[in-house]
């Protein structure tokens, strides 16, 4: 197929953080072209954003519903191939459902939905639609994370004993949600973010990273949620002990109030034959220690550091490959987070909430 | 007092690890002289060790009881000033009690005793004796750990919110306790090590480090113990969630089966105004991040790295200063772990065991 | 101007390294569109490359001369705005000259030309043309390099005393130029690379980085070139001592045979009031040490690492801004390497060659 | 020989830096006992120092000459076995010569003498005396430096191509020599320090480290000396290019005015089959990169960091072993810097001075 794919975006108006990141990631490889958008519930913001992105004003819409309808009505060689959803959490499911039903592939930000129930419903919609659904657990796009998974899969670590995953941040140390910081206000609002702030936003990245690298399934967990800053309805810090199926143990903690931390997502996996360690802030290095041997630092060849946007772009690239295959009626194996990862992620969040509320070890549900 | 102090050692025969470390630490500052010892329950090992250490053979004893008696009978300008106890855990209390009662000051390895009950009894003996009792929580001897405590005390971190302390090791990944490795076999034997292996050996160091730096008291904790290597009666890995009095939260984990880890004791303390991070394997660096400012790396002046033995020696130095003060009938403020730290440490271990057994959050006892 | 800029590329056919990097950098921000190319002297390679990049086959040309002519003949709203030159060194000057004379802006890879003489001629052509000429000294696009320059400019380092700049690589440790590795063979061929391999390729980056950050001008230098691998006509390792105007001293070394090194470009600048250090392989960190204070690690906000391509894209972004301003008849201050940097760079290379040949300290020419 | 060795010290009075370090190093292993000293040219300082060190006042001398004479007159089982010389440079040769002639072994700080001529004379005295002479190039006492040498000797790096050695410090950035800082004032005084300050003090450590690890001999060098701080008679910064016998090339630079640097001695050795890197401020880590394989971090077993004093103690330990062997009439192979290293070091300093003065490449003399 000798053409770029065309996509539209829902969310991501001026000043939105993650929408701009999605666009940079989508641009990087020159395989995709942004042609439409419903960037904001504020129609003017949406139009201005469209102009800045050099879009045809006719394809900048006032609502996602209008966009789905109008795009579906365009000729096949004009309309978008897929939609990218970068709204607050509570809109993920309705927007995704609308576009899937209108016949579009979907790339959606995480966490996938507000609840496990909603997640399972979306999974059903995806299955029925036959469309590609990619969830941007972007950290699994880092080459060294993929290399880490390969180390585990190839047996170089042997049976996994212990996983330590951390995602400390510090951006909510001040009560910026009352000062109108947009990100902060919706992420701490249960109606827009769901039943969890910190775990939903970043704990789920740590959980996904552990699952991606090790393939381990959670059996049960014990969670401790804290709202350190007074007046918050959702937690801004969470610590979890995890029991994996098969006997491995885990420690996972995440925080939005850890002073000085930016995006210090990191993971250590200890196996009976070796261990590995990776850290998002030095993403091109993977430490691997085979039992009885010297620590090795694995790197990408050539020493030209790749980083956050390249990793994000890798998710887009794989999703685009899947969409191209789907368009061509081909099968294939692709490496990007899917609706199933979304369901797992939602179950992680809900189980954490349950344990933190009860103060007890809590079983992870069957999905 | 224009003379070196004289000391004797119980334990620390040939091939013992920690006894040799104590001697190097005691040597370093040229303030103390080893003059007596009961180095091993094997009298021949004891004599050979004494010879290697240039001791007068008459002062190399067959048992600690004999040593306490014989030394007490020597003239004041000959007999030891204090004893250093470096035996397996189960002997700490009886040996310490014997020497305290015989009128000697005591420097003792940790954990202090086998149980909290024994710890409280020893505390009572110390109080009655009026002697100095120092417990070698040696990691608190690092200058940068003292600096970290100063940062907290001076209010530079503000109210503490979260503490993450880790002590992963990997030396028990193989079942070396059945191959006659001496350390491994007693540390995994409940009769000699007590009710915990990993927490008693190193978890308690992480706990002590957190307490030393932050001054926080544990309110309750939830622990998960695992014996990853089949056939072990005690845990070789432990993960804990902690609730401190006053509302701070903690994550503490330790391990003896984390492949590739050596003595990676490290701590991060997050306060409302700043955070700090310290790592034993790069002991001369302390990271301090004031809110809203750039991360700072604090170091010792002059860049001549100090390390493990110097930190250990600092404990000896402070204990020696306390002993000199005691001998001179002076008061003073000294910085070394005491019998009270030993009681706290034993309570930490016992509370962890209780929580890990019940699978529930468990209150920390009043002491 | 509500449209993307259009550009064409000369060089960068299949398997070329730097051409692909330029395209990713150009894609990233969604401001530029590749519409034409003469990707290879091999017409078939050129066409295949064009197809992979979704280009209109009519705008994939057999030669750069043909491309310049044909594009100039297209209507203003179709033809390219600028050309990106990513060929081996010996073609930079003729291609740039051709396109400048045909009325196009130019973005050109470094080193700018084969000789200082050629560089000065190109400078003259640029001046006469009134067009934008950007040289991709891409490492100056890193945000932390710009921050480093700000530290110097703001006086935080005081008068600069010493600069240490290094660019070790190891990719030419094996004689891959005889095994058909394309990069290696032209870079070691004096006809295609010029009078220097290692300094021309990477030493000039280190020199440019030092100049960008400090603004210091070289007064004289003493260079030592070595061809460690037998049979090479150009140096694969170079060490230089530098005397800057005003009294600062420099050490600059670069290598293509330093085993294990990838792209370890790094710089340390020592001033009378403070020092800084930056390293390309951890590009988001800048170490700054004010005199008498603790070392500080400066970072980008948010901890999402940016890297090589983002830095490269920043050069494109600034050049594009300059081109837009030029098209709109506006003036402005832009931050990208220009033809003057190219002339300086060529003088650095030639002076190094002269010193290495004579074994003497050599004056840097007036330009 | 079942006794500790006895030693005396010349220099090292109150507030002297390196004398205290020597004593700590000598204490560490419990093999040596300080019994005599002429600690200062100021007799009172000498006596006070002796008291603080618990010495018999009769063996605290007013001058080194008196000490040599008096100690030689004592019975064999009382008098010192060796002397440790920790004075400013200009006294090294006369003190060492005096004690060697009086029949004592010598441990001496570096640089060995003021001139090559004096160094050769001392070499002759040592040879005639049959006594052990150890020079405290203490950085070669680090276990990882010894491991680095083993990597080279075992051929794991193949033929050495390039050596980069650095020793930046910043303690002389302020003109503290005029404020009475004792170290600073003698180190910048040609009469006491010799013809070089920075190279004599620390450049020679970098040179010795390179020689120790690689075994390479310097063929010629080109040096650039600068006195950045006005009014200094000796250089406070030096940069050198080096040609080794056999074709390897070197870059060596050292500084006393590099803001923020403490004792950042470090070395990288690049061979045809692999490379290594070591840094004094993280002394327990050695990076080794075999060609085509992942970087490995080699460490001491057990993760208890050793540091500056332990490395220093290792020099003492080896020297003591040599002295014991000498006393017992035994031969043996020992690993400590000798008078030959002293002669090489002095030649390095003098050749640097010669090159810096002439501005030309300068042959290294035959010794």
Q: Per the CB < 8 Å rule, is D294 touching A294?
A: no
Chain D hits for A293, CB-CB cut-off 8 Å, are: 296
C contact chains, 3+ CB pairs < 8 A:
A, B, D
Please tell me the distance in Å from A95's CA to the nearest CA on chain C: 25
Q: How confident is the model at residue D1 (pLDDT cuts 50, 70, 90)?
A: low
Please list the pLDDT of chain C residue by residue as tens digits (367 residues).
589 999 999 999 988 889 999 999 999 999 999 999 999 999 999 999 999 999 999 999 999 999 999 999 999 999 999 999 999 999 999 999 999 999 999 999 999 999 999 999 999 999 999 999 999 999 999 999 999 999 999 999 999 999 999 999 999 999 999 998 988 999 999 999 999 999 999 999 999 999 999 999 999 999 999 999 999 999 999 999 999 999 999 999 999 999 999 999 999 999 999 999 999 999 999 999 999 999 999 887 667 888 899 999 999 999 999 999 999 999 999 999 999 999 999 999 999 999 999 999 999 999 8
Tokens of D286: 């050695």
Chain D hits for B34, CB-CB cut-off 8 Å, are: 30
The ipTM (two decimal places) reads 0.93
> pLDDT tens-digit profile of A124-157?
999 999 999 999 999 999 999 999 999 999 999 9
Q: Which residues in chain D (253-312) have CB-CB distances under 8 A to chain A?
A: 288, 293-299
| 3-state secondary structure (DSSP) of residue B240 | strand
As a whole number, the mean pLDDT across chain C is 95
Q: Per the CB < 8 Å rule, is A30 touching C24?
A: yes
Note the pLDDT of residue A302: 66
Note the pLDDT of residue D305: 86
Chain B hits for D176, CB-CB cut-off 8 Å, are: none
Q: Per the CB < 8 Å rule, is D249 touching C271?
A: no
Count of alpha carbons within 13 Å of D181, Cβ hemisphere only?
Answer: 13
Run of H or E residues at C9: strand C5-10
Which among B222, B247, B259 has CB closest to A274?
B259
Other residues' Cβ atoms within 10 Å of the Cβ of residue D333: 8
Please tell me the distance in Å from B113's CA to the nearest CA on chain A: 29
Q: Per the CB < 8 Å rule, is C28 touching A30?
A: no
C73 and chain D in contact, CB less than 8 A: no
Comparing alpha-carbon positions, the chain D residue that sits nearest to B265 is: D303
> pLDDT tens-digit profile of C1-38?
589 999 999 999 988 889 999 999 999 999 999 999 99
Chain B hits for A220, CB-CB cut-off 8 Å, are: none
Q: Per the CB < 8 Å rule, is A259 touching B289?
A: yes
Which among D21, D262, D305 has CB closest to B308?
D305
Q: Per the CB < 8 Å rule, is D241 touching C241?
A: yes
Q: Per the CB < 8 Å rule, is D296 touching A296?
A: yes
E strands present in D181-265: 218-226, 237-244, 249-255
> pLDDT tens-digit profile of A58-103?
999 999 999 999 999 999 999 999 999 999 999 999 999 999 999 9
Q: How confident is the model at residue B362 (pLDDT cuts 50, 70, 90)?
A: very high
Chain C hits for B294, CB-CB cut-off 8 Å, are: 288, 296-299
Q: Per the CB < 8 Å rule, is A297 touching D294?
A: yes
Q: Per the CB < 8 Å rule, is D54 touching B4?
A: yes
d(CA D263, CA B79): 43
A155 burial class (0-12, 13-18, 19+ CB within 10 angstroms)? exposed
Q: Which residues in chain C (206-245) have CB-CB distances under 8 A to chain B?
A: none
Q: Per the CB < 8 Å rule, is B280 touching D30?
A: no
Closest-CA residue to C135 (of C332, C326, C339): C339
Comparing alpha-carbon positions, the chain B residue that sits nearest to C296 is: B296
Chain D hits for B282, CB-CB cut-off 8 Å, are: 282, 305
Note the pLDDT of residue D364: 96
**Backbone torsions φ then ψ of B185, nearest 5 degrees:** -70, -40
- In this predicted structure, the answer to whether residue A310 has a pLDDT above a threshold of 60 is yes
Give the best residue of A6, A176, A307 to mutate against chain C (max C CB count within 10 A): A307
Q: Per the CB < 8 Å rule, is A299 touching D295?
A: yes
Closest-CA residue to A112 (of A97, A131, A127, A101): A97
Q: Per the CB < 8 Å rule, is A297 touching D299?
A: no
> pLDDT tens-digit profile of D75-86?
999 999 999 999
d(CA A77, CA A81): 9
Contact indicator for B173, A271 with CB cutoff of 8 Å: no
> pLDDT tens-digit profile of B71-116?
999 999 999 999 999 999 999 999 999 999 999 999 999 999 999 9
D175 and chain C in contact, CB less than 8 A: no
Note the pLDDT of residue D22: 96
CB within 8 Å of C75: residues ≥ 6 apart:
none
Whole-structure pTM value: 0.94
Please tell me the distance in Å from D321's CA to the nearest CA on chain A: 31
As a whole number, the mean pLDDT across chain A is 95
| 3-state secondary structure (DSSP) of residue B21 | helix
> pLDDT tens-digit profile of B13-71?
988 889 999 999 999 999 999 999 999 999 999 999 999 999 999 999 999 999 999 99
Chain A hits for C305, CB-CB cut-off 8 Å, are: 280-283, 305, 307-308
Burial pattern B296-320, b for ≥16 Cβ within 10 A else e, equals: bbbbbeebbbbbbbbbbbbbbbbbb
Note the pLDDT of residue A299: 82
Chain B hits for D50, CB-CB cut-off 8 Å, are: none
Chain C hits for A306, CB-CB cut-off 8 Å, are: 307-309
Which among D23, D54, D282 has CB closest to B282?
D282
Which among C240, C249, C289 has CB closest to D259?
C289
Burial pattern C242-268, b for ≥16 Cβ within 10 A else e, equals: bbbeeebbbbbbbbbbbbbbbbbbbbb
> pLDDT tens-digit profile of D255-278?
999 999 999 999 999 999 999 999
Chain A hits for D299, CB-CB cut-off 8 Å, are: 294-295
Comparing alpha-carbon positions, the chain A residue that sits nearest to C170 is: A302
Chain D hits for A294, CB-CB cut-off 8 Å, are: 288, 296-299
> pLDDT tens-digit profile of B161-174?
999 999 999 999 99
- In this predicted structure, the answer to whether residue B299 has a pLDDT above a threshold of 90 is no
Q: Per the CB < 8 Å rule, is C296 touching B294?
A: yes
Please tell me the distance in Å from C357's CA to the nearest CA on chain B: 40
Give the number of beta-carbon pairs within 8 Å between A and D.
22
d(CA C118, CA C137): 18
Q: Per the CB < 8 Å rule, is B255 touching A270?
A: yes
Please tell me the distance in Å from C253's CA to the nearest CA on chain B: 26
Chain A hits for C34, CB-CB cut-off 8 Å, are: 30
d(CA D261, CA D266): 12
Which among B168, B247, B270 has CB closest to A258?
B270
- In this predicted structure, the answer to whether residue A1 has a pLDDT above a threshold of 60 is no
C359 and chain D in contact, CB less than 8 A: yes
CA-based R_g, chain C, Å: 20
A contact chains, 3+ CB pairs < 8 A:
B, C, D
Q: Per the CB < 8 Å rule, is A164 touching B275?
A: no
Note the pLDDT of residue D202: 97
Q: Report the relative pairing of strands B82-85 and B362-363 from DSSP bridges.
A: unpaired
Burial pattern D75-104, b for ≥16 Cβ within 10 A else e, equals: eeeebbbbbbbbbbbbbbbbbbbbbbebeb
Mean pLDDT of B127-155: 97
Note the pLDDT of residue D57: 96
Mean pLDDT of B262-277: 97
Q: Per the CB < 8 Å rule, is D302 touching B262?
A: yes
Comparing alpha-carbon positions, the chain A residue that sits nearest to C310 is: A309
Comparing alpha-carbon positions, the chain B residue that sits nearest to A224 is: B241
E strands present in B211-301: 218-226, 237-244, 249-255, 266-271, 274-279, 285-290, 295-299
Give the number of beta-carbon pairs within 8 Å between A and B.
114
Closest-CA residue to D109 (of D320, D337, D297): D337
Three state DSSP letters for chain A = CCCCEEEEEECCCCCCHHHHHHHHHHHHCCCEEEEEEECCCCHHHHHHHHHHCCCCHHHECCCHHHHHHHHHHCCCCCCCCEEEECCCHHHHHHHHHHHHHCCCEEEECCCCCCCHHHHHHHHHHHHHHCCCEEECCHHHHCHHHHHHHHHHHCCCCCCEEEEEEEEECCCCCCCHHHHCCHHHHHHCCHHHHCCCCHHHHHHHHHHHHHHHHHCCCEEEEEEEEECCCCCCCCCCEEEEEEEECCCCEEEEEEECCCCCCCCCCEEEEEECCEEEEEECCCCCEEEEEECCCCEEEEECCCCCCCCHHHHHHHHHHHHHHHHHHHHCCCCCCCCCCCHHHHHHHHHHHHHHHHHHHHCECEECCCC
């Amino acid at each position: 197929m000798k053409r770029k794919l065309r996509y539209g975006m829902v969310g991501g108006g001026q000043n939105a953080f993650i929408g701009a990141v999605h666009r940079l990631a989508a641009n990087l490889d020159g395989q995709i072209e942004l042609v439409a958008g419903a960037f904001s519930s504020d129609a003017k913001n949406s139009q201005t954003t469209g102009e800045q992105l050099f879009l045809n004003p006719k394809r900048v819409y006032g609502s996602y519903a209008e966009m789905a309808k109008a795009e579906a009505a365009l000729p096949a060689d004009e309309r978008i191939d897929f939609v990218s959803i970068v709204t607050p959490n509570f809109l993920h499911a309705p927007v995704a459902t609308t576009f899937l039903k209108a016949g579009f592939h979907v790339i959606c930000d995480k966490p996938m939905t507000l609840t496990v129930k909603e997640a399972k419903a979306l999974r059903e919609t995806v299955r029925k639609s036959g469309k590609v659904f990619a969830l941007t657990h972007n950290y699994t796009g880092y080459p060294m994370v993929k290399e880490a998974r390969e180390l585990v899969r190839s047996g170089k670590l042997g049976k996994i004993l212990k996983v330590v995953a951390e995602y400390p941040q510090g951006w909510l140390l001040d009560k910026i949600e009352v000062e109108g910081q947009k990100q902060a206000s919706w992420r701490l609002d249960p109606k827009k973010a769901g039943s969890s702030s910190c775990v939903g936003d970043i704990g789920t990245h740590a959980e996904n990273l552990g699952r991606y690298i090790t393939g381990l399934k959670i059996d049960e967990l014990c969670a401790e949620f804290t709202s350190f800053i007074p007046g918050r309805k959702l937690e801004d810090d969470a610590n979890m002990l995890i029991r994996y199926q098969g006997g491995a143990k885990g420690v996972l903690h995440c925080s939005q109030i850890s002073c000085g931390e930016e995006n210090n997502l990191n993971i250590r996996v200890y196996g009976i034959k070796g261990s590995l360690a990776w850290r998002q802030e030095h993403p091109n290095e993977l430490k691997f220690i085979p039992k009885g041997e010297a620590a090795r630092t694995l790197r990408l060849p050539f020493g030209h550091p790749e980083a956050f946007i390249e990793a994000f772009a890798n998710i887009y690239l794989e999703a685009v490959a899947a969409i191209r295959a789907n368009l061509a009626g081909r099968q294939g194996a692709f490496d990007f987070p899917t609706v199933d990862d979304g369901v797992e992620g939602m179950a992680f969040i809900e189980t954490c909430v349950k344990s933190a509320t009860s103060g007890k070890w809590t079983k992870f549900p069957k999905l």
